[in-house]
Amino acid sequence: MKISGPDILGIIAGSLTTAAFIPQVIKIWKTRSTRDISLVMFVILCIGVLLWTVYGVVFGLWPVIISNTVTFLLSGTIIIFKIRSR
């Protein structure tokens, strides 16, 4: 599989936007507090990210598939923490 310039750009963009969720997951894990997290926002985000993943699968866009799958898992983890803290 040959990686093109646009693929590299997609990999970097996807990695950065996905990595942005890691500090929030770690903070929630450590503090066990989700009080200031919006459940509705994260549910909407997860639906959108899932649709981006499907889009990536339809068009064979690996940077989109990988980054959105990981983002879905991280934001889904936040949703689970939020529901458990109720």
CB 36 within 8 Å of CB 17: no
38-86, which class in CATH? mainly alpha
| Each residue's pLDDT tens digit, 43-79 | 999 999 999 999 999 999 999 999 999 999 999 999 9
Q: What is the pTM of this model?
A: 0.88
Neighbours of 75 (CB within 10 A): 22
User: What are the boundaries of each domain within the chain?
Assistant: 38-86
